[in-house]
A and B are shown apart, each in its own frame.
Chain A
Amino acid sequence: MEHIRTPKVENVRLVDRVSPKKAALGTLYLTATHVIFVENSPDTRKETWILHSQISTIEKQATTATGCPLLIRCKNFQIIQLIIPQERDYHDVYISLIRLARPVKYEELYCFSFNPMLDKEEREQGWVLVDLSEEYQRMGLPNHYWQLSDVNRDYRVCDSYPTELYVPKSATAHIIVGSSKFRSRRRFPVLSYYYKDNHASICRSSQPLSGFSARCLEDEQMLQAIRKANPGSDFVYVVDTRPKLNAMANRAAGKGYENEDNYSNIKFQFIGIENIHVMRNSLQKMLEVCELKSPSMSDFLWGLENSGWLRHIKAIMDAGIFIAKAVSEEGASVLVHCSDGWDRTAQVCSVASLLLDPHYRTLKGFMVLIEKDWISFGHKFNHRYGNLDGDPKEISPVIDQFIECVWQLMEQFPCAFEFNERFLIHIQHHIYSCQFGNFLCNSQKERRELKIQERTYSLWAHLWKNRADYLNPLFRADHSQTQGTLHLPTAPCNFMYKFWSGMYNRFEKGMQPRQSVTDYLMAVKEETQQLEEELEALEERLEKIQKVQLNCTKVKSKQSEPSKHSGFSISDNSIANTPQDYSGNMKSLPSRSPSQGDEDSALILTQDNLKSSDPDLSANSDQESGVEDLSCRSPSGGEHAPSEDSGKDRDSDEAVFLTA
């Protein structure tokens, strides 16, 4: 609270990104957790809520006659431009936001003040919804080859690993500890995924400290143990997800990669995924392209290509596909590592698991996957997503890339996933929002020390409660193509990878398809269900009536029966044949989603409100938005756009004609 210099500023303008001439006048409030903008216009009073933790950068722009513009870029790719009339307010807001967006203590984060009105028991239940020991049981562990090791009890061996780890049965504590000393940050090889069908597994670790010639007997034994745990194959793939050059450079620092000569029966493979710094710059470049005011097609494509973003996505996918193939087709186990084994390794392991196991393509399974490969194995959420003020060089969109990979797969296999695009977008939002405790800190150890589970709520429970909003109506669990491993076409085509405007331009509603197939299908599904229930009830009634009629032998009742019958069919038809009120139907959907809406997800809620208060399909606003698109998006249209003052325009046109 002490950081808020001015809690309320009036007569602030919120600039519409698509048509900068239009701006909404309103009041800006700063609270401990949110920036809130409330429009003045009495009929809408539209509210825009932004969490402080979502703020990525705040930029002061050159002062104009109307006031001082402030540009706020959010981590969920929203961009907000405010114009504040008074210089002093402007400065105060700027200073306050700078401080508020960079908390220094975990206690300042929203999740510690966020209270969704659940009692203690419900909160605890929320935290056990996703249970990793259950997940390992589902994989078929422990078994003859793999066992639960307690070597990392109290985080004695590796402080970024969880306490519960699965290792090959033949790996003794001595081998594990020896191996851990030979690996960066002591992240020794452990099991990530076990493929029941053929005993092959995906293991993960960090790079070995091999330098130019160092060896470690225990580490070699560890890999041998992993190979032995898979009787179906006489070798193990070791996948280094770095570009070869980077790995070689690491050797000079006493790190590096496995030497095939020293390890018996390994096949070593580089897969060039770039490091976090390259990825950060790539995203930056792509977002610059998304921000362009009215780009031409070549500007856009050139910028997209230049950012290299889709190339990086493809590299991650290729690595995942390689591993999934090695496991399912060759029956070989794979050890994956990068440098520290918490960024690229997490991406690649989870993509491969997603390809291999249909369970991870369900709502619950996807939560489990993120919990396992990302949260428990010590992906540094705090550093990568800048939850606390820290080194900007540590920030990188690692999990964003994984989420995009999932989306690319969903585009390829529309029936294979139980969840929809919205689910991914909301997870991405909450990774940055710090509204729930799941993604806090850098490791399990830190989270336990902070007592996260006792002091905050779990996102998974929140998502699970509202799962109706995240279902994919096209999901077919029993379809042959969606069972087992997903097989991408053998000849990879480049046009498989597309720009995800649903994510990166998601706040520019005008660019999104105006009608959502998913919502529509869900509504139809729901309606069908309702009608079926109604039919059932009516049939029951009919049966009863007929019974009654059998008892009565009066002719009169017989006459009444057909009329009732026809009455029934008419009412049924009229429901089935009446075209649903289009805009009404679409409006009803968002109103259904805020039913999730206790007070909890404040921002999501307001988005939904936005959606419903701006009925995309009702005549007025829709037409308006279309017109805006035109006048400002068509570069040459600007001069001649008929919406401008036509008298003036005529002059300019005549001038052109005269000079001609």
Chain B
Amino acid sequence: MEFAELIKTPRVDNVVLHRPFYPAVEGTLCLTGHHLILSSRQDNTEELWLLHSNIDAIDKRFVGSLGTIIIKCKDFRIIQLDIPGMEECLNIASSIEALSTLDSITLMYPFFYRPMFEVIEDGWHSFLPEQEFELYSSATSEWRLSYVNKDFAVCASYPPIVTVPKSIDDEALRKVATFRHGGRFPVLSYYHKKNGMVIMRSGQPLTGTNGRRCKEDEKLINATLRAGKRGYIIDTRSLNVAQQARAKGGGFEQEAHYPQWRRIHKSIERYHILQESLIKLVEACNDQTHNMDRWLSKLEASNWLTHIKEILTAACLAAQCIDREGASILIHGTEGTDSTLQVTSLAQIILEPRSRTIRGFEALIEREWLQAGHPFQQRCAQSAYCNTKQKWEAPVFLLFLDCVWQILRQFPCSFEFNENFLIMLFEHAYASQFGTFLGNNESERCKLKLQQKTMSLWSWVNQPGELSQFTNPLFEANNLVIWPSVAPQSLPLWEGI
């Protein structure tokens, strides 16, 4: 398919661009296969380059022959284009609409993007699981890398290489995979060097209503505990929801079969509830009426900060188990690809000083989000303005970034990166010239040959020139565990977003 077919009018003159808090700009609008470009053709003026994939929704309006297109972006920007001529306006609008909703991933911009910079370090190879494993292996010999999933046959959403207890062989892993949702058998997420405790994550056990058991699963989980030690299983659903899941073949670990483990339910919302929360929040933020009371009640009604509080509380609890109780933990929800990852990654930020550095945080995202199979493609396809609600839409990653920001605000000197870094990650997760956040899991990324065909975001970010805008000048390595406060008074709204 040629993009030219979709572009009905490639160029319109005398278009006026309105953006909130900026003066209006008049210039020429050009449409290309991937961008919408507005240039005033004067020197020293900024050009607007907007990726079609960043467009969330568009509205058209006509007053006489003057058409107006309002473009709402996934990064919450709203821009308005005044286009002279009804026909041009309609053509532009329908072209944008078509171009912003391409269904084939291989037509997306990352597959066409050619970097203007020299690649010093290929980001696709920056954070290999083997390297990450080496960081632990000096401290412990109880874990090994398993290649059981190398052709994605055991678990479609897991990477080819995972870390598992040494005493469990691949055959047992295959059996355990059949007992866990989506084949997501328990794997190592984090090793706490201070006391050797670990965070593992998995999908829910498929106990069903008749209380199925799996000996290998029990063995695997117990293999992670030292003699006489106890562990905690953190279920990110409420007990009620977990019980209901049994009717659909899911369920939770019964304590009788896992006598060394205690189960804790920490409810974190998921899916469309989060999406609606985001929609309400953005709506409240864009409301220009001057009424203070309505703002606060809208903020409250959005429940966004409630979700933040829930997630942070669960993460703090996990970190507390590890560091204060000296107990290992296993975290799962239903699928183990959303709230589970929020909790495991935030707990690591609290516990592990390395994850508060730029490279460490990148490694964390690579490991706990990309390789762990957070379905970015599904979750980030649309944002707050879209009318067609898909049930797998959810700002899970944005919530995670917001939580990181909350901790950053409370410990402004303990992070190597700054707010801009988090915003940059958010923007690229939703629309990017890089291939990093494409696809839903490693298996899809392999099939798309992203490593060969697209650039990695990390290749760009980790250049010294780019890094400077993301570094926090106040950073002083803080080797301690940081304990954020989760009281509502301590959690303001993140204005940067």
Chain A interface residues toward B at CB < 8 A: 290, 294-302, 304-305, 308, 310-311, 314, 489, 491-495, 497-499, 501, 504-505, 508, 510-515, 517, 520-521, 579-580, 582, 617, 619, 622-623, 625-627, 629-630, 633-634, 636-637, 640-643, 646, 649-650, 653-654, 656-657, 660
Contact = CB atoms under 8 A, between A and B. Distances in A.
Contacts of A311: 291-293
B449 to A, nearest CB: 43
A63 B324 CA distance: 35
Contacts of B300: 297-298, 301-302, 305
Contacts of B265: 636, 640
Contacts of B294: 494
A150 to B, nearest CB: 45
A513 B489 contact: no
B254 A513 contact: no
Given A298-B300, A630-B486, 9 more contacts: A300-B489, A301-B300, A305-B296, A305-B300, A311-B292, A491-B20, A515-B413, A520-B474, A642-B327
Contacts of B156: none
B324 A633 contact: no
B49 interface: no
A180 to B, nearest CB: 37
B412 A301 contact: no
A310 B293 CA distance: 8
Contacts of A654: 255
30 contacts: A295-B487, A296-B309, A297-B491, A304-B296, A310-B296, A491-B21, A491-B288, A494-B287, A494-B291, A501-B490, A511-B489, A513-B412, A579-B476, A582-B476, A582-B478, A617-B478, A623-B323, A623-B324, A626-B482, A629-B484, A630-B313, A630-B320, A633-B313, A633-B485, A637-B317, A640-B265, A646-B262, A653-B255, A654-B255, A660-B239
B488 A297 contact: yes
B410 interface: yes
B164 to A, nearest CB: 25
B296 A513 contact: no
A521 B475 CA distance: 11
A296 B436 CA distance: 37
A580 B476 contact: yes
Contacts of A629: 316, 483-487
Contacts of A623: 323-324, 480-481, 483
Contact of A643 (B325, B484, B493): B325
B263 to A, nearest CB: 6
B20 to A, nearest CB: 7
Given A301-B488, A580-B476, A630-B313, A514 B482 contact: yes
Given A629-B485, A642-B264, A298 B325 contact: no
A512 B487 CA distance: 10
B486 A515 contact: no
Interface string B440-469: 000000000000000000000000000000
Given A290-B489, A513-B412, A626-B483, A579 B324 contact: no
Given A290-B489, A305-B297, A649 B411 contact: no
A495 B321 contact: no
A536 to B, nearest CB: 25
A657 B254 contact: yes
Contacts of A295: 487-488
B306 A298 contact: yes
Contact of A499 (B409, B412, B477, B492): B492
B483 A495 contact: no
Contact of A515 (B239, B306, B411): B411
Contacts of A491: 20-21, 288
Contact of A653 (B262, B317, B410, B413): B262
Contacts of B320: 626-627, 630, 642-643
Interface string B260-295: 001111110000000000000000010110111111
A495 B313 contact: no
A495 B309 CA distance: 19
A495 B292 contact: no
Residue from the set B296, B299, B308, B411 with the largest chain A CB neighbour count within 10 Å: B296
Contact of B295 (A489, A495, A627, A636): A495
Interchain residue pairs A-B with the least CB separation, the first 3: A626-B483, A494-B295, A305-B296
Contact of B292 (A302, A314, A580): A314
A534 B419 CA distance: 35
A588 to B, nearest CB: 14
A648 B425 CA distance: 44
Contacts of A514: 410-411, 482
Contact of B243 (A619, A643, A660): A660
B118 interface: no
By size class, the interface of chain B is 35 or more
B252 to A, nearest CB: 9
B489 A649 contact: no
A493 B482 CA distance: 33
Contacts of A296: 306, 309, 488
B69 interface: no
A249 to B, nearest CB: 23
B305 interface: yes
Interface string B210-246: 0000000000000000000010100000010001000
Given A491-B288, A514-B411, A660-B243, A634 B486 contact: yes
Nearest to A300: B488
A279 to B, nearest CB: 14
Contacts of B285: 493, 495
B5 interface: no
Nearest to A581: B476
Contacts of A657: 254-255
Contacts of B411: 513-515
B243 to A, nearest CB: 6
Could you say which of B21, B239, B317 has the most chain A C-beta atoms within 10 Å of its C-beta?
Answer: B317
B39 interface: no
A632 to B, nearest CB: 10
Among A295, A296, A625, A636, chain B packs the most CB atoms within 10 A around the CB of A636
A512 B490 CA distance: 7
Contact of A513 (B263, B410, B481): B410
B189 interface: no
Nearest to A496: B495
Given A297-B306, A513-B409, A657-B255, A646 B230 contact: yes
A404 to B, nearest CB: 14
Contact of A511 (B21, B230, B485): B485
A320 to B, nearest CB: 15
A297 to B, nearest CB: 4
A294 B414 CA distance: 27
B303 interface: yes
Interface string B185-228: 00000000000000000000000000000000000000000000
A290 B489 CA distance: 8
B309 A297 contact: yes
Contact of A505 (B20, B297, B480, B489): B489
Nearest to B238: A636
Given A520-B413, A634-B313, A617 B325 contact: no
Nearest to B475: A579
Contacts of B327: 642
B492 A642 contact: no
A636 B266 contact: yes
A625 to B, nearest CB: 7
Contacts of B262: 642, 646, 649-650, 653
Contacts of B316: 626, 629-630, 634
Listed residue (A310, A501, A619, A630) with the most chain B CB atoms within 10 angstroms of its CB: A630
Contacts of B485: 510-511, 626, 629, 633
